Structure formats: structure tokens, C-alpha cells
Structure 1
Amino acid sequence: MIRKGFLMKVYPDKHEEYEKKHQEIWPEMVEELHNHGAKNYSIFLDKATSTLFGYVEIEDEEKWSKMATTEINQKWWAFMEPLMETNSDKSPVTIDLKEVFHMD
């Protein structure tokens, strides 16, 4: 299992809407995440800075990288674009973090 941590930014006035949309995440999105090897996926919000910290465990980097090209993921990115910092392809601006410590 590969552990991934990353940062994203939600707009300060969109915290509640961002959380609501994730509480109502589409079942087909969850299914596709599972199909691409994602498990134990969490997103945390630091309200003071509007920073999101994401954590996900994946099976394989190559399999996980293919998630971005799925139709449902592209639809989700467009759905979330008004709430957060995004790239020109509507993907969230993401900063990957290096794991420096882990304890089971």
C-alpha cells in the first residue's frame, strides 16, 4: 500500500459548500476511486488558511494516475471548480507531500 498526502486550496467563502458536496459525493465517483485502487481516503480543512490536506492509500501509482482521465473524475472536477483553486484542465491545484514518518 502506498500512502499519499497532498495539499489543495478551497476558497474562503466556499468551506461549507465544499464539505456539503463531499458529504453527498456521487456513488459512481466513489466506485471509480475504488476501481483505481484508492482506500482510506480523507480530506481535512484548515479553516484559518483554507488549506485542504488530503490523504489516500493506493495500490499502484500507474493505476491511480489513470483516475484523472475517467469521465466521472472529469465531471467531478468541473463540479468542484467554482469552489477551489484549479488548473486550466479544471483539476485541483495540488501540492504533493513527501512522507517523512509513519507508524502503524
Structure 2
Amino acid sequence: MSNQDRPLAFRMQLKPGVAAEYERRHDELWPDLAAALREAGIHDYSIFLDEGTMSLFAVLRLRPDNKKDALPLQPVMKRWWDYMADLMEVHPDNKPVEWPLKPVFYFGG
């Protein structure tokens, strides 16, 4: 299995008291954003919440021919960041702050 077939994981941080709203907004994911994610080669994307720390753990898989690096240039991605900025820690352009997570174990069984 190539590295591009393995999951990519990172952490993000929610602000206090917004977990339900964060989940609600993702339950109503915009169809054009879902299409942009698919077109970028992202699939099998999940986000988990540690309720004790309000940390989000995201894991996704990238197709070998992915265009993930172009995703931040998509207008729909920028609109989503603006929409979500009040709920989480973000950079000045409203892109969520992401902390990469180092893979330490993989089981492909």
C-alpha cells in the first residue's frame, strides 16, 4: 500500500460550547462542498470529537491522483471556512488551524 492510500490525520480545536452546532452544520454539508471534496480525491473522511478537550480528530483517505493541495483555492472551501470560523480556532483567512498527527501504527488487515 502506498503512502497516498493510507489515512491522513490531523487535529483541530473547537471553541467551548459549540459542539452541537458544529455537528449540525456538518449534518447539512453543502452538496457543492461534498462534490469539491470528491473531485479533490478525498474519500472516507471522518471527524471525531474529544468532548473533554473539545479537540477534533480528522482522518481521511486520499486517492493516489488527488488534488487536495488545490482545495483551499476553491471558492466553496473558502465559503465553508468563513461559515465555520465562529466555531473553531482559525488562521486569519479563516482556514481551520490543523495540527498534523504522526502515524505510529497501521493495520491494513
Taking structure 1 as the reference length, the TM-score comes to 0.95
RMSD of aligned C-alpha atoms?
Answer: 1.3
Aligned to 1:80: 84
Aligned to 1:4: 8
Aligned to 1:15: 19
**Does 1:52 find its partner at 2:60?**
no
Unpaired stretches in structure 1, ≥5 consecutive residues? none
Q: Considering Cα pairs closer than 8 Å and 6+ residues apart, tell me whether 1 or 2 has the greater RCO.
A: 1
Taking structure 2 as the reference length, the TM-score comes to 0.91
- Equivalent pairs counted in the alignment come to 104
From the superposition, tell whether residues 61 and 93 of structure 1 become closer, same or farther in structure 2 (CA, over 3 Å): farther
Unpaired stretches in structure 2, ≥5 consecutive residues? none
**Does 1:96 find its partner at 2:100?**
yes
CA distance in 1, matches of 2:107, 2:34: 27
What SS class does the counterpart of residue 17 from structure 2 fall into? helix
CA distance in 1, matches of 2:46, 2:65: 18
